Amino acid sequence: MTHSQILFFALSVWIGGVAWSPAVCADAPLIAAAASVRPALEEISARYTQTTGESVRLVFGSSGTLVKQIANGAPYLLFLSANSDYVQWLADRGLTAGPPVAYADGVLALFARAGLLGERDNPMTGLGRAVENGTVKRLVIANPEYAPYGSAARAALKHAGLWLRVRPILLVGANAAQAVQYALQGGVDAALVPLPLARSARLEETGYLQALPGETYPGVELRQQMVLLPGADPGTRRFFTYLQSQDSREIFLRHGLRRPGSH
């Protein structure tokens, strides 16, 4: 099985917009995390288990979907969001068990199939030209109503004056991972997706991939925060502390995230 086939399988196991990591001990703490952080968090959790002998269960989905589940009583003990707004929403309703901690700043990236965008193009200018001349016939983003990266993608398109022009060709994934899945399958010509997921899928091997600066999507902050939830036990708190360690920070950076406040 090729890397792409393996990744396609991993990204395809979605139930109601939420994906579960491979099975571990049934009584291990249940951690909810934004789909965009999956590659980094799975590596961190594996390192944590190797180091401590303890394990956690990981559930991935759009931040908005996970927040709805938490509000409806889902038994998650720790939540890693792709932005700070959803964490604040939980805090305002008394659904957290401590102050939030910023663990990274997210990075939005533009992907396009090989030959559609020039390497020297300004990314969004190049996308606009490709949409105008019809070489980009299908563009995917995550759902902007539930996924922070979808909201950032919409902001980038609006800032570039492309939002109305791309609406007829726009495909909306349930979350960031599903948007990357469409790009990986070749069902779209371009995608605005999280850099960490795009790198994990090796999209740069099949086309153009460029990280976008924060000013490309004004008004949207991808300050990624995590927070303990009511019922968090000592095992959950130990993992929460580990996520703030230097080892974890280095893994987040290696997967395409940035240090909080670094841009």
DSSP state of 23: P
Residues 113 and 212 both lie in one domain:
yes
Using N-to-C axis directions, what is the helix angle for 148-159 and 176-185, rounded to 10°?
Answer: 70
Average pLDDT over residues 80-102: 96
DSSP state of 199: H
Asked if residues 65 and 18 have their Cβ atoms less than 8 Å apart, the reply is yes
Nearest in space to 86 (alpha carbons), one of 182, 14, 175: 175
Place of tokens 């105008």: 132
Asked if residues 87 and 122 have their Cβ atoms less than 8 Å apart, the reply is no
Please check the confidence at residue 7 and state whether its pLDDT lies above 60.
Answer: no
Residues 88 and 169 both lie in one domain:
no
| CA distance to 93, 106, 203, 215, per residue, from 261 (Å) | 26, 10, 27, 14
* Residue partners of 245: CB distance under 8 A and separation at least 6: none
Residues 190 and 234 both lie in one domain:
no
pLDDT tens, position by position, 193-237: 999 999 999 999 999 999 999 999 999 989 999 999 999 999 999
Residues 231 and 101 both lie in one domain:
yes
Tally Cβ neighbours within 10 Å of residue 157.
26
Residues 121 and 189 both lie in one domain:
yes
In terms of residue numbers, what domain contains 187? Answer: 108-216
pTM: 0.84
Average pLDDT over residues 18-42: 80
Residues 56 and 113 both lie in one domain:
no
Number of domains the chain contains:
2
Residues 28 and 50 both lie in one domain:
yes
Q: Could you tell me if residue 263 is inside a domain?
A: no
Residues 101 and 113 both lie in one domain:
no
Higher pLDDT, 144 or 26: 144
Q: Could you tell me if residue 17 is inside a domain?
A: yes
DSSP state of 29: P
Nearest in space to 212 (alpha carbons), one of 157, 137, 171: 157
Residues 135 and 191 both lie in one domain:
yes
Q: Could you tell me if residue 261 is inside a domain?
A: no
Residues 73 and 119 both lie in one domain:
no
